[in-house]
Structure 1
Amino acid sequence: MPDTAPAGLETGVPAPTVVVLIGDMALSRAGGDVIATHNLGSCLGVTLHDPVAGVGGILHAVFPEAHLAPGEELDNPWRFVDVALPLFLSAAHRMGARRENARVTLFGCASVSESLRDFSIGARNLQTARAWLSMRGVSHVARHVGGRVGRTITLRIGTGEVWMKCPGEPATRLQQGGRGNVATGLALGLEP
């Protein structure tokens, strides 16, 4: 069950120390770091937190598959879910994160643009991520995907708290209780 943001936070989310841009990622072991990404529309946002290793991060990928834009994955691999997700999880593993402890949250994948609706970018981003994670035995703890609204997500490295803010709504904190395979989050829109 989500919590409302604490009083005194102007935007409803903790102030970030690191901002992840579109088609990028950040990982940290610094307990005081707060990582955020803004404007998740059809893009896929992934938070990862391993409470045992104290490693966490956010990925903000744009398109489902690199083969849709041959050669561009060489310029920026973080833009494509099928390339970025394995790189992100591998980088987290090198920093000490372990699959059995990792809490993975999926965000975004909305249908926000009339002009892009025919391409179903959001739905395809989600499908690509879920298939890749499932094939490798990685469970996601929570998800807030689909719909027609953008999202801002924030991860506190020291606590693993994941905050989400949608336009016109108060920020909410997704509960992160339990082990890595316990589903405790929200599911909207594109989820079957």
Structure 2
Amino acid sequence: MSDDFEEILAPNLYYDRYFDIDAVKILPGEYYVSSRNLLMVTVLGSCVGACVRDRVSGIGGINHFMLPDDRRNEDQRVGSAMRYGDYAMEILINQLLKLGARRERLEAKVFGGGNVLPGFSHNVVGERNAQFVTDYLGVEGIPVVSRDLLGSYPRKVYFFPADGRVLVKKLRSLHNDTIVQRERSYQAKLRQSRVEGDVELFR
């Protein structure tokens, strides 16, 4: 595996009996896009997820990422974090356009950025992630039609790209150790990686 930053196409396909539909589970650092009727599910703590779709064709996708904090000097940290955030969003949009989505018809719903990682009395990690994803979509001219960001709870997100529905469940009463450990592991992996090269945005 390359030690560059990578976004991974989510491999966790399953059948959701409750919603009676094929589904895919997206973990930190993963994304998924589809042109068929499919449920996309992820659990977000401090990470953010962008649900992006072509509002006419129903081609849609979701990602799950956080900005790396590599503990180097401030200029390097901010530079690499922004490049990784750009990459996480661009690879999602690129794949949607390759499936036939039209850029001018894209819309987004964004979620996550909760203050769930222990040791942070203020919502620094989640706030940076939430601010990045909204700023990025604004610069790219992709309207954010719905959002549920920040706060102190993890969220389970159910995205139905075919019709644009998103169901969000705030996990107030559950033990969040798994979520925290998963994000800690992802955060550590980001610190060990590096960003090289540029990603060309497929238009």
Provide the TM-score with structure 2 as the length reference.
0.64
Name the CA shift for 1:51/1:134 in 2 (closer, same or farther; >3 Å).
Answer: closer
Using the TM superposition, name which of 64-73 and 152-161 deviates more. Answer: 64-73
Structure 1 residues 64 and 142, CA gap change in structure 2 (3 angstroms): farther
Amino acid at match of 1:29: S
Question: In structure 2, what residue type is equivalent to 1:19?
Answer: K
Match of 1:60 among 39, 59, 64: 64
Alignment-mate amino acid for residue 32 of structure 2 = A
The whole-number CA distance in structure 2 between the counterparts of 1:85 and 1:97 is 15
Which of 28, 31, 45 is residue 22 of structure 1 equivalent to?
Answer: 28
Distance 1:48 1:60, change over 3 A: same
Give the structure with higher Rg (CA).
Answer: 2
Pairwise CA distance, 1:86: 1.5
Does the C-alpha gap of structure 1 residues 138 and 48 become closer, same or farther in structure 2, counting only changes over 3 Å? same
Residue of structure 2 in register with 1:99 after alignment: 103
Counterpart residue identity of residue 45, structure 1: G
After TM superposition, give the deviation of residue 14 of structure 1 in Å.
7.0
Aligned to 2:164: 160
Q: Which whole-Å deviations, capped at 9, do the CAs of 1:110-168 have from their partners, x for residues lacking one?
A: 11234134571111111222222212211111100010000011112332211111124
TM-score, normalised relative to structure 1: 0.68
**Structure 2 unaligned runs (5+)?**
1-15, 71-75, 174-203
Contact 1:18 / 1:34 at 8 angstroms: preserved in 2?
yes
- Which residue is 1:183 aligned to? none
2:39 counterpart of 1:34: yes
* C-alpha separation in 2, matches of 1:96 and 1:68: 35
The structure carrying a bigger helix percent of its residues is 2
Aligned to 2:183: none
Question: What's the secondary structure of 2:153's corresponding residue?
Answer: coil
The answer to whether structure 1 residue 148 and structure 2 residue 157 are counterparts is no
Structure 1 runs (4+) greater than 6 angstroms displaced: 69-73
The percent of aligned pairs where both chains have the same amino acid is 27
In angstroms, what is the RMSD of aligned CA positions? 3.1
Q: CA deviation at 1:64?
A: 5.7
CA distance in 2, matches of 1:133, 1:70: 18
Q: For the Cα contact (< 8 Å) 2:49–2:110, is it kept in 1? A: yes
1:70, distance to aligned residue in structure 2 (A): 9.2
Number of equivalences = 153
Question: CA separation in 2, counterparts of 1:71 and 1:138?
Answer: 23
- What is the CA–CA distance in structure 2 between the aligned matches of 1:149 and 1:46, rounded to whole Å? 17
Aligned residue type for 2:26: V
